[in-house]
A = this chain, B = another copy of it.
Amino acid sequence: MKQSQLFTKTRKEAPSDEVSKNAELLIRGGFINKEMAGVYSYLPLGLKVMKKIENIIREEMNAIGGQEIVMSSLQEKETWEPTNQWSDAEVDIWFKTKLKNDTELGLAVTHEAPITKMLKGFLNSYRDLPFSVYQFQTKFRNETRAKSGIMRTREFVMKDLYSFSKDEEQHLEFYEKCKQAYVNIFKRAGIGHLTYLTFASGGMFSKFSHEFQTITSAGEDIIYVDENKGIAINKEVYNDEVIESLGLSKESLVENKAVEVGNIFTLSTRFSDALDLTYQTEAGEKKSAFMGSYGIGPARLMGTVVEVLSDDKGIIWPESIAPFKVHLLSLGEDVEVIKSANEVYEELVKKNIEVLFDDRVGIMAGEKFADADLLGMPYRVVVSTRSLKENGVEVKKRTEEKGSVISREELIKVLTNKN
């Protein structure tokens, strides 16, 4: 894409009311726009990142047999009453609204109850189990405070998967597969090295739930990490008994601030009992389906990547989720430079290498470099009178201090071999 045609522009100043680094950098880069506190729009560059994150998640969910659907955001009171989750006293982040005839509706905080209700129409026999269903769907949460940029917002897309099994044994088999899929997702998104499987409160139905926590000073949680074993304990369940039961020792656990980028937990039959989602067993008996719930917020993941992979100049996108792989810069008004840069652009496009081409005229080199650092594409490729003198282009990774001039043929090799 040609940058001259991109309607967004970078900004030098962060908005004064943004305190989080992720929102500051993403707004300055034109990735997102703040609509109000805790509510953001995704602009072309930001949406590209979101879609890449969603696709990584989708691939991993499909690989474990997840079937994709999309449920509605509007929800009925009757759906949430059987589990006592309708009243604001029980769930204090509802946004509620009304039909013309005064019927109260809620905006989806989550979907356990509606999905359980919907599946009553399809689940009959033990032969139908196990299966899992997921969606990328907008959740609305009436948060009192919203100061973490896109990491905690009042409206956001969430990938929520729900699993349905015959019994706990069948459930745990899927649960372990999904846990591994989550490990894959965070690794592929570039934050695997900072993300720990974390034991957290299991609620009523299992000893623990599992969170995936990424270490960052921007996090709202406290976790205790055993670096060698690659696992952690959330402060909420951090005590001698738990430490011992996990075979850990206090000495090897280090306190860190972290953000929860994913969570998986066993629901057991809480929803299937309440909403009567049953199946016929081999023996012909009626039994409630055994459920699990598995969430990831793509925007929180995106915000976390910005928090942990950025420097004082801007964002450093991992290749897997960068809006473009290459940021091609044409410097100066020299006719030969412009011609050569256009040729490089056409060639990259032809080779299906995603490239943002800074073809803007009348913009100083320093400003183009600053924009490239702020926007954070993995490769910066510069065409200038200087690079042409050496018969090539200057290529530099966002993570490198200095670039080097290589031929255009070599550039294609560099960009196609590494993926």
Contact = CB atoms under 8 A, between A and B. Distances in A.
A336 B138 CA distance: 47
Interface in A66-103: 67-76, 95-100
Given A41-B72, A69-B44, A95-B97, A133 B7 contact: yes
Interface in A105-150: 105, 107, 114, 118-119, 121-123, 128, 131, 133, 138, 140, 142, 144
A8 B41 contact: no
A9 interface: yes
A164 B2 CA distance: 18
A5 B97 contact: no
B69 A154 contact: no
Contact of A41 (B33, B67, B71, B128): B71
A276 B154 CA distance: 27
A73 to B, nearest CB: 6
A262 to B, nearest CB: 22
A30 interface: yes
A364 interface: no
Nearest to A360: B127
A69 B97 contact: no
- Copies of this chain, count: 2
Q: Which of A69, A118, A140 has most B Cβ within 10 Å?
A: A69
Contacts of A154: 74, 99
B75 A35 contact: yes
Contacts of A36: 74, 76
Contact of A72 (B7, B35, B74, B118): B35
A140 B47 contact: no
A72 B39 contact: yes
A369 interface: no
A35 B75 CA distance: 8
Residue among A40, A95, A98, A133 having the largest count of chain B Cβ atoms under 10 Å: A95
Interface of A: 5-9, 11, 30, 33, 35-36, 39-44, 47, 50, 65, 67-76, 95-100, 105, 107, 114, 118-119, 121-123, 128, 131, 133, 138, 140, 142, 144, 154-155
17 contacts: A7-B119, A7-B122, A7-B131, A8-B122, A9-B122, A33-B118, A35-B114, A36-B74, A41-B118, A43-B69, A50-B70, A73-B138, A73-B155, A74-B140, A74-B154, A95-B97, A95-B98
